[in-house]
């Protein structure tokens, strides 16, 4: 699947966000090695800390389904669902990516003009992994 299509699926996922507290709507589309795509959105909570990020929603759906081999993820987000710039993954999500992916895993961050591409090694250097 090309990056543009994966980014479109992340934008579609963003419309599923449950974000009544921050107003930031976030979407992710996770591409597995077999071509399957898992979409995720952020899911907030009145107690704040139970909030789940879009990236982890996508990963946890995929892991539950038995997927273990991942190629790339596209991420987008913005206040009220308006993409005004990069929406980089938080540190917790980067570590979850590292749990299941090598340092060559690709991250596409959607921008108003298109996307920016990074590897997990770039976003999480000297990462911790067992």
Candidates 4, 12, 44, 55; catalytic one: 55
Residue 19 near ligand THU by CB under 6 A: yes
122: Cα separation from own chain's centroid:
16
Could you confirm whether 44 is annotated as catalytic?
no
Residue 26 near ligand THU by CB under 6 A: yes
Beta-bridge partner residues of 107: 73, 118
Number of helices (H), then strands (E), in the chain: 4, 5
Instruction: Count CB-CB contacts under 10 A for residue 129.
Output: 10
Residue 95 near ligand THU by CB under 6 A: no
Q: Where are the beta strands (DSSP E) in the chain?
A: 24-32, 37-41, 70-79, 106-110, 115-119
Site for ligand THU in 54-83 (CB under 6 A): 54-55
* Residue of 10, 42, 97, 98 interacting with ligand THU (CB under 6 A): 42
Which stretches of the chain bind ligand THU, using CB under 6 A? 19, 22, 24, 26, 42, 44, 51, 53-55, 89-90, 93
Q: Which residues are catalytic?
A: 55
């Amino acid at each position: 699947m090309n990056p543009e299509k994966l980014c479109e699926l992340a934008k579609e996922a963003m419309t599923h966000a449950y974000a009544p507290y921050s107003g930031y709507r976030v979407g992710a589309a996770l591409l597995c090695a077999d071509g399957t795509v898992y979409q995720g959105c952020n899911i907030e909570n009145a107690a704040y800390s139970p909030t789940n990020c879009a990236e982890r929603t996508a990963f946890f759906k995929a892991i539950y389904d038995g997927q273990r081999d991942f190629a790339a993820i596209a991420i987008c987000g913005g206040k009220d669902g308006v993409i005004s710039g990069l929406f980089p993954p938080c540190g917790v999500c980067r570590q979850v990516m590292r749990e299941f992916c090598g340092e060559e895993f690709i991250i596409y961050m959607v921008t108003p003009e298109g996307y920016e591409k990074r590897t997990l090694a770039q976003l999480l250097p000297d990462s911790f992994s067992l």
